[in-house]
Amino acid sequence: MATLDQWAYNFRNIARAGAGNSDDDTLGIRQIKFWIQGYRAVGIEQKTNYGKDINPQLVSDFGILELQEIDQSDTVNCQGIEWGCKIMKVVIPNLVDLPKNRALLFIGKIDKQTNFQKDDANTHEFVSETRFGHLITRYFIVGTTVYIGLSKKDEGIKYVNARGVVEDPTQLKWIEENEEGECVEVCFDDAVHQYPLTMNLFEFISTNIMQKELGMTLQTVESLLNNARNEIQTSEPQG
């Protein structure tokens, strides 16, 4: 994978080759990043429809997330309105719009392997009260909030791990250890961090931008992408 800056500059180099001497200087990196972001979400939806697997390179790990215990009504304290039952919640980033919340690939224990059972918000209460339902930790999603009903054996859990396909990877934040051994919050850096994108999806994005945003013909687009592929092959070291 490459950084977002690398993807954007790579696209600009490809597009400029087909722009001649016209307005290539107006093709700004900030605008290209905006297009990449939008068409990435469209491309992921198209390339994973009908139950196709999601490429692991498109998945982001949200790290260790702290759970918050709340009343199940999830109202603000000043209203003084409660349902009377406690539940845990955690807020996750906006996900790419995929059917049945398929963009959230995992939420579970911090071992990154033990997942929780997904429920529907409308039926969670009934399923959890069945004979075996209460033995399993279950969750449901409303917007970007994940509500988790911990089973008895999981009652002590205070942190969870989650991963998924986010709509805007540049908004991700996580905790790292600095040189002094302190935990610090790190924000996504377009020039440093790997941007979750595959070469196959990059070609889909490039084709759509050049055709729909830059008005290039399909023949021109295919020629530019073929030239780019050839350049990559010729630049690879010969074994």
Distance, CA of 44 to CA of 196 (rounded, Å): 11
Which one, of 13, 41, 95, 28, lies nearest residue 205 by Cα?
41
Distance, CA of 233 to CA of 236 (rounded, Å): 5
Q: Measured between alpha carbons, how far is residue 17 from residues 11, 103, 150, 205, 226 in Å?
A: 10, 35, 57, 17, 12
- Tokens 């049945």, residue located: 100
Interior angle at CA 209, CA 49 and CA 15, nearest 5: 135
Distance, CA of 89 to CA of 123 (rounded, Å): 17
List the structure tokens of 46: 């198209």
Angle formed by the axes of helices 218-235 and 4-16, to 10°? 120
Mean pLDDT (whole number) for 106-118: 95
Higher pLDDT, 21 or 87: 87
Residue 155 has pLDDT above 70, yes or no: yes
Distance, CA of 178 to CA of 186 (rounded, Å): 10
**What local confidence, expressed as pLDDT, does residue 12 receive?**
93
Distance, CA of 27 to CA of 82 (rounded, Å): 54
Percent pLDDT > 70 in the chain is 85
Q: How confident is the model at residue 238 (pLDDT cuts 50, 70, 90)?
A: very low
Lowest mean pLDDT among 124-138, 197-211, 221-235: 124-138
Determine the longest span between alpha carbons in the chain, in angstroms.
72
Query: DSSP strand E in 67-201: where?
Result: 68-71, 86-91, 104-108, 117-118, 138-142, 145-149, 159-164, 173-177, 183-187
Q: Tell me the whole-structure pTM to 2 decimals.
A: 0.82
Q: What are the tens digits of pLDDT across the range 42-52?
A: 999 999 987 78
Q: How confident is the model at residue 237 (pLDDT cuts 50, 70, 90)?
A: very low
Distance, CA of 200 to CA of 211 (rounded, Å): 17
Please report how many Cα atoms fall inside a 13 Å half-sphere around the Cα of residue 215, on the Cβ side: 3
**DSSP category for residue 40:** H
Distance, CA of 111 to CA of 130 (rounded, Å): 27
Q: Are 59 and 165 in contact (CB under 8 A)?
A: yes
